[in-house]
Structure 1
Amino acid sequence: MENPGYARRLTLMDAALIVVGGIIGGGIFLNPGIVAQRTGSGWLLLGLWVAGGLLTLIGCLCYAELGARRPEAGGSYVYLREAFGKLAGFLFGWTMLLVIYSGSAAAVATIFGSYATSVFGLSPDLVKPLAVGALVFVTGINLFGIRFGAQVQNVFAILKLAAIAVLVVTGLAFAGARSTQALASSPTEVTGSLAGALLPVLFAFSGFSYLNNLAGEVRDPQRTLPRALVVGMLVVITAYVLVNYAYLAVLGHDGLANSHAPAADVMSRVFGAPGAKLIAIGIAISTLGFCNITLVAGARVLQVMGQDGLFFSSVARLHPRYRTPNIALMMLSAWAIVLVLAANYGQLLDFATFGDWAAYAVTIATLFWYRRRSKERPVFATPAYPLLPLLFLVAVIGVVVAYSLDKPLSAGVVCLVVLAGLPVYAVWRRLFSKVTR
């Protein structure tokens, strides 16, 4: 039976909230403390969050053009396959399955487990079982069509924005005169380079590309996708800068640098234990939304790979009624569950973030191939081309190199996973030589 094809049911609002949900996970509630440890003042800290947001916005603009040129399911896999060949596409999908998307979902599901046990006073031994339960839950939601899944995702995204709004209002309303003092220079010395301070910022902005994987389900994608990417990214930048201002206003720069859970510390300082519990619930919901969109986006990549003959043919099938890649979704979720049980949060986060940003750089390089191949102007074109894409590439390559020096073991593991894909691809092509494209 032939695949019925994806149904274009995602509106502009759905798409924009997918961008928001794909970026805001647990990073904004944890990473600002790390950035504060590596900076000398609140002004510098806020400047890094603005710079990281603007750099990611450039990435969004590049992905917007790529999505407008190829408004179909698969995102980065499709661009790499067309520009650099089937091997490049396969290596992306292979690494996405084993490390990037599965690792991201597993890491953030672990955050969910941690906060859930904290809120309800449960044993720490239940962190992993709750993380597994979260992955099963979000997988089940998306077996019944993109429309239903998008509605649940919209609720998650709105609730996480509400949690951020509570933090911002709390910081602005209760900080008083300290808000200005918090931005002043701190006696804390800067540790490491600005690149090192920028790393946790950029990692908190990861996930902006997930919408492109769902382009086959977006209405009027050539116009909707670029608008959703830009609108969603601007919402995230605004939210992140305001949240960091609130952290500084309540905790001060030194207080933020010494905080391992700044969101909980802000709410606890102002509202006591009930406030800390309230924000913990908000963070748990935020992590569920991130896991949801990560698995949904990754499943579309696997489905297109199966359709191309570069993965099991069974994952290429769409449900005849709901038109969702249910087999691919369950496979990705199952591997994420294995990672939850086999690794800790730090390992998962390191592997996923290195692979994620390396993939962004390689994917945006395909934009130059598309521009050379076609002189026809797309519906959306990246402004200031080629300056902005080149700026993004140079910055991301710098981040990847800095990360490799900072965490050589994690970077080495991801590189080994990519290299392991080479013999797998060769064997796959030999055993399954009938490739549809």
Structure 2
Amino acid sequence: MGEPASPPPDAGELTRAGTGRPPGEGHAASGGRLGMPAATSLVIGNIVGTGIFLLPASLAAIGTISFLVMIVTTLAAVALAIVFGRLGARLPSSGGPYAYARQAFGEFAGFWTAWSFWLTAWGGNAGIAVAWVGYVNYFLHWNGTAGQIAVGLVGVWVPALINLGGVRNVGVFQLVTTVLKFVPLIFVALVGLFFMSSDNFGPFNAEGGSLWDSVWLAAGLILFIYSGMESVTIVAERVRDPERNIGRAGLCGVVACGLMYLLATVAIFGTVPHGQLVGSTAPFADAINNMFGGSGWGGVMAACAVASGIGALNGWTMLVAEMPMAAARDGLFPAGFARLSRRGAPVLGILVGAALTSLMLLFAYASENTFNTILLFASFTTAIPYFFSAAAQLYWLVTGGRGVDRGRMARDLAMAVAALLFAFAIVYGSGEEAVMLGVLAMLVGVPVYIWTKARRGEFGPSERRPASPADPGS
């Protein structure tokens, strides 16, 4: 039998590939660090994309049962945010779910988590870009496919150029776009409560079919809008005081978004008649028009959606590069993904991610109903990192590893179990087609893992055989 496998190195022992420096060193000097406001803005900016601007209309077709589903989903998202905060305190190094899975379950689990998140990041970016084009065209009216593709590519590559400028530019841009989209949305959510009419709310189960099917249809739409809550854990080394601020930024971001989602949905249900809301393509604009009259407010909300989309694309472009960078440091992605520019930007990851997003965007415009397929696909691939992160926390709690706090054991266990169930729900709510496509995409990663291991000269344990007399040294 061979020697037992060595455990993966601790996060503090990992070095940046090709630099010989410990993780985190050089970030502050080369590109700055994210403070608490910028870190929270990164979480909010990545959670709140363009989907919230269409969500109320989609939920209206299902019924007011969506409110209950949203409450339960928000509580589960809060539990997962708490788990991420505890994990960030345990391993305050970049990589987020990848680092947690690798440290808890070994190299292959870490690779598969990184691969899944990478699929989520650039695939989801394509979905955001497709939705973003629609709001830009509120002003441009470029209805031809070529024009829409051109607008979409601008939405993909402008954030890529911003990210190439370094993390300081990303943080400032993210803070500005978060304010531009969050303030108007919360305005609608709060002011709309004073204009509501009970006559506008539709039936509890508008579809009239199985209540179980309606619940999961609503869940499938709602679950994805919380993806991005793990953003701050992935860029942990770029956050000031990560042991403290990762948990605070994640929890504040999820709670703020959850309250806004719920209040905004209730307000719009109550200010827009059900029949009008079901067919609406701009429910926030319709809500404001019904509150104050006129139609000029549609342009204001379209501008908010444009800011929301470009902010989400900016934040997710950062994550597209950060996850493979962390994996490349450990030799699980090609080494080029770990190299940083003088401004501290992982250039290869940014460029490759933007290129893949562009290809997915072209695929979207060449197909029918691809937007929903992209989002559900990204929803499934999101569940893999969530599942392994919650499982890592549960593993360390049960085994007593990583400095378990006995005084908060019961609460931490409850949060970890709730996060596991949340990950299961995301998979179930994604639907059969998305799960099938997601599994196929996950399996594609296995040959990549094999190729990467072979490039490193790691071929697994070899079978020992008895030395023959002809062998040298026998």
Q: TM-score, normalised by structure 2?
A: 0.83
CA contact (8 A) 1:223 1:380 kept: no
Counterpart residue number, 2:46: 22
- 1:362 equivalent in alignment to 2:383: no
Alignment of 1:34-113 (within 5 A): 34-39=58-63, 41=64, 44-97=65-118, 99-113=119-133
- Deviation, structure 1 residue 109: 1.1
Which stretch has the larger CA shift, 44-53 or 62-71? 44-53
- 1:244 equivalent in alignment to 2:265: yes
Q: Tell me the distance in 2 between the aligned counterparts of 1:325 and 1:226.
A: 25
- Deviation, structure 1 residue 378: 6.5
Identical positions, percent: 25
| C-alpha distance 234-83 of structure 1, shift in aligned 2 (>3 A) | same
Tell me the matched-pair count.
Answer: 424
- Deviation, structure 1 residue 29: 1.3
Q: Tell me the distance in 2 between the aligned counterparts of 1:388 and 1:27.
A: 27
For 1:345, which of 358, 371, 375 is the aligned residue? 371
More helix by share: 1
| C-alpha distance 338-184 of structure 1, shift in aligned 2 (>3 A) | closer
CA contact (8 A) 1:145 1:324 kept: yes
2:412 alignment partner, SS class = coil
- Deviation, structure 1 residue 94: 2.4
- Deviation, structure 1 residue 411: 1.4
Q: Give the residue type in structure 2 aligned to 1:114.
A: G
Alignment of 1:118-157 (within 5 A): 118-125=138-145, 126-157=147-178
Alignment of 1:395-414 (within 5 A): 395-404=422-431, 408-414=432-438
Q: Tell me the distance in 2 between the aligned counterparts of 1:187 and 1:326.
A: 49
- Deviation, structure 1 residue 218: 0.6
Counterpart residue number, 1:219: 240
1:385 alignment partner, SS class = helix
Q: Give the residue type in structure 2 aligned to 1:105.
A: N
- 1:416 equivalent in alignment to 2:440: yes
Q: Give the residue type in structure 2 aligned to 1:410.
A: A
| C-alpha distance 214-380 of structure 1, shift in aligned 2 (>3 A) | farther
Q: Tell me the distance in 2 between the aligned counterparts of 1:199 and 1:187.
A: 16
CA contact (8 A) 1:102 1:333 kept: yes
Q: Tell me the distance in 2 between the aligned counterparts of 1:375 and 1:325.
A: 30
2:54 alignment partner, SS class = helix
CA contact (8 A) 1:36 1:253 kept: yes
- Deviation, structure 1 residue 267: 3.3
Residue by residue over 1:164-204, the C-alpha shift from the partner in whole angstroms, topping out at 9 and shown as x without a partner, is 0342355235x25x1x4445755834442422222211122
Q: Give the residue type in structure 2 aligned to 1:60.
A: A
CA contact (8 A) 2:60 2:202 kept: no
Q: Give the residue type in structure 1 aligned to 2:374.
A: L
For 2:136, which of 89, 113, 116 is the aligned residue? 116
- Deviation, structure 1 residue 303: 0.9
Give the greater-gyration-radius structure (CA). Answer: 2
For 2:296, which of 269, 274, 292 is the aligned residue? 274
Gaps of 5+ in 2: 1-17, 365-369, 460-474
- Deviation, structure 1 residue 65: 0.7
CA contact (8 A) 2:92 2:242 kept: yes
- Deviation, structure 1 residue 375: 5.7
Q: Tell me the distance in 2 between the aligned counterparts of 1:302 and 1:382.
A: 33
Residue by residue over 1:75-112, the C-alpha shift from the partner in whole angstroms, topping out at 9 and shown as x without a partner, is 11111111121112222222333x31001111101111
Q: Give the residue type in structure 1 aligned to 2:377.
A: F
